[in-house]
Structure 1
Amino acid sequence: MQDGDARSKTAVKVTTNGMVFNIFLTIFKFIAGFSGNSAAMIADAVHSFSDFITDIVLILGLRAAGKPADHNHHYGHGKIETLCAAFVGIVLFIIGLEILQSGLGKILFVAGGGNLEQPGAVAFIAAVVSILTKEALYRYTLSAGRSIKSDAMIANAWHHRSDAFSSVGTMIGIGGAMILGGRWVILDPVAAVIMSYFIFKVAFEISYTNINELTEAAPDIDIVKEISHIIVSTEGVRDFHKLKTRKIGSNIATDVHIQVDKDLSLIEAHDICTEVENRLRAKFGMDSILYIHCEPDM
């Protein structure tokens, strides 16, 4: 994994590239939505605009999160990254709610005897372009996010993927309305309602995970088990207890009491603690935050 400064620069670069694409997609979709009379495409454009806004917030947040520890932030600024990821989840939920409300409103309008204009080919083309672009951005951002272990970037990647999902629904709705026409124009807002489900699903997963981290929840049980295995399998460690773990940004923080032979010298006991630290850092990164208390095994 890269050091903090290089990691922050990578995150900002990737997010900035995504933001540039989102600007052009937003403009393109709004033009296509209004000129093509497509409610679903306009909803898609709003979603792309939300991507642009969250990109700005993420760039500012990732820069702040990359700062080293200081006299006011002894554990660094990693929680800012977690806060940004939670923000993305909340924004996604709000966007999903707005799209659901708009789609249901138009469906009720048609059910009450109203008529919606049939969407044009330009809206269909915009949906296809959006799917290809956002799927590419998803893969690009996800790959970078995983390589630097950034929850905020991974959340933003899913923001891109949710836009691709929504565009698939939009494409189906617009295509159906164009081919079938007449009362089947209702497929357009129906597609908007369907895409809101995917957005809600991703929003919940992102928000739940990162709000948990903000409230000091322990990492996944698999990570806790791996930490436990590394500790207990270290030569000289007889047992351990009071294991506490949490995430601070991309870093794992671990607090544990280990038990060693009571007849060991202070230097020998210290060497065992150092070996535990080295093994944990080798697995979870050199920036891992570790507090290891050594006790005699009575």
Structure 2
Amino acid sequence: MQNDDGRSKTAVKVTTNGMIFNVFLTLFKFIAGITGHSSAMIADAVHSFSDFITDIVVIFGLKAAGKPADHNHHYGHGKIETLCAAFVGIALFIIGLEILLSGMGKILLVANGGSLEQPETIALVAAVVSILVKEGLYRYTLNAGRSIKSDAMIANAWHHRSDAFSSVGTMIGIGGAIILGGRWVILDPIAAVILSFFIFKVAFDISYTNINELTEAALDKDTVEEISHIIVSTEGVRDFHKLKTRKIGSNIATDVHIQVDKDLSLIEAHDICTEVENRLRSKFGTDSILYIHCEPDM
């Protein structure tokens, strides 16, 4: 895993590249929506614009999270990245709600005898381009986010995919309206409503995970068990208790009391603590925040 400086540079570079694509894609969608008489494509363009906004938020958060610890932030600035990831999750939920309400409104309009304007081919082309670009950005950002273990980048990757989902609904609606004509334009809002629930699911998963982290939730069960195994299997450790875990940015943080032979010298006991620390850092990263208290086994 890269150091904090390299990790921050990688994250900012990937997110900036995505932001550049979002700017051009948003402009293309707006033009296609207006000239192609497609309200669905204009709404899709607004969705892409929201990606541009969240890109800015993520870049700010990643740059801030990459700063070293200082006299006001003894544990570093990793929580800023978590806060940004939570923001992206909440933004996704709002976008999903917007797509749901918009789709329901159009369905009710057609059900009450109204009609939706038939779009032109340029709007369909824009939808296809959007799907390809946003799916590409999703994979690009997700792979980079996983490689540097950035929750904010992973959240932003799903934001890209939510835009691709939105464009799928737009493509189906526009394509159906062009090919079938007439009242079949209702396919657009129906697809949008279905896709909004996929967006809600992703938004919930991202928000829940990162809000939990902000409220100092413990690490997942498997990770805690792995930490426990490393501690108890270290030579010289007889037992341990008061294990507390949490996550700060991309790093784990643990507090634990280990018990060693009461007849050991201070140096020997300290060496055991150091060995536990080294083994944990080897597994979870050199930037792990570890506090190990040594007690005599009575």
State the TM-score, normalizing by the size of structure 2.
0.97
After TM superposition, the runs of 4+ consecutive aligned structure 1 residues lying more than 3 A away are none
Contact 2:173 2:187 survives alignment (8 Å): yes
Equivalent position of 1:220 in the other structure: 220
The 10-residue stretch of structure 1 (192-201 or 204-213) with the greater mean CA deviation from structure 2: 192-201
Contact 1:40 1:191 survives alignment (8 Å): no
Equivalent position of 2:121 in the other structure: 121
Deviations 1:163-209 (A, max 9, x none): 11222222222212222111111111222222211221111111010
**Residue aligned with 1:242, SS:** strand
Contact 1:16 1:55 survives alignment (8 Å): yes
Taking the aligned partners of 2:175 and 2:113, their CA distance within structure 1 comes to 22
Equivalent position of 1:252 in the other structure: 252
**Residue aligned with 2:159, SS:** helix
Contact 1:236 1:272 survives alignment (8 Å): yes
**Residue aligned with 1:6, SS:** helix
Letter in 2 for 1:100: L
**Residue aligned with 1:118, SS:** coil
Equivalent position of 2:40 in the other structure: 40
Taking the aligned partners of 1:80 and 1:208, their CA distance within structure 2 comes to 16
Q: Tell me how far 1:116 sits from its aligned partner.
A: 0.6
**Residue aligned with 2:127, SS:** helix
Deviations 1:63-99 (A, max 9, x none): 1111000000000000000000000011111111112
**Residue aligned with 1:254, SS:** strand
Contact 1:62 1:81 survives alignment (8 Å): yes
Query: Within the alignment, does 1:286 sit opposite 2:292 as a pair?
Result: no
State the TM-score, normalizing by the size of structure 1.
0.97
**Residue aligned with 1:246, SS:** strand
Letter in 2 for 1:212: N
Q: Tell me how far 1:38 sits from its aligned partner.
A: 2.6
Count of equivalent residues: 298
Taking the aligned partners of 1:71 and 1:118, their CA distance within structure 2 comes to 61
Pairing of 1:1-298 with structure 2 (within 5 A): 1-298=1-298
What root-mean-square deviation, in Å, do the aligned CA atoms of Structure 1 and Structure 2 show?
1.1
Contact 1:51 1:160 survives alignment (8 Å): yes
Q: Tell me how far 1:51 sits from its aligned partner.
A: 0.5
Taking the aligned partners of 2:146 and 2:185, their CA distance within structure 1 comes to 41
**Residue aligned with 1:98, SS:** helix
Letter in 2 for 1:11: A
Taking the aligned partners of 1:273 and 1:113, their CA distance within structure 2 comes to 75
**Residue aligned with 2:21, SS:** helix
Letter in 2 for 1:213: E
Taking the aligned partners of 1:193 and 1:42, their CA distance within structure 2 comes to 17
Contact 2:169 2:189 survives alignment (8 Å): no
Q: Tell me how far 1:54 sits from its aligned partner.
A: 0.5
Contact 1:68 1:77 survives alignment (8 Å): yes
Taking the aligned partners of 1:49 and 1:28, their CA distance within structure 2 comes to 11
The 10-residue stretch of structure 1 (81-90 or 44-53) with the greater mean CA deviation from structure 2: 44-53
Letter in 2 for 1:98: E
Contact 1:162 1:199 survives alignment (8 Å): yes
Contact 1:39 1:188 survives alignment (8 Å): no
Letter in 2 for 1:155: A
The 10-residue stretch of structure 1 (194-203 or 214-223) with the greater mean CA deviation from structure 2: 194-203
Taking the aligned partners of 2:15 and 2:64, their CA distance within structure 1 comes to 14
Taking the aligned partners of 1:31 and 1:197, their CA distance within structure 2 comes to 28
Letter in 2 for 1:80: I
Letter in 2 for 1:171: M
Taking the aligned partners of 2:192 and 2:36, their CA distance within structure 1 comes to 15
Taking the aligned partners of 2:218 and 2:178, their CA distance within structure 1 comes to 51
Letter in 1 for 2:49: F
The gaps in structure 1 that reach 5 residues or longer are none
Q: Tell me how far 1:40 sits from its aligned partner.
A: 2.7
Deviations 1:99-128 (A, max 9, x none): 211111111111111111112211111111
Taking the aligned partners of 1:100 and 1:38, their CA distance within structure 2 comes to 18
Letter in 2 for 1:232: V
**Residue aligned with 1:296, SS:** strand
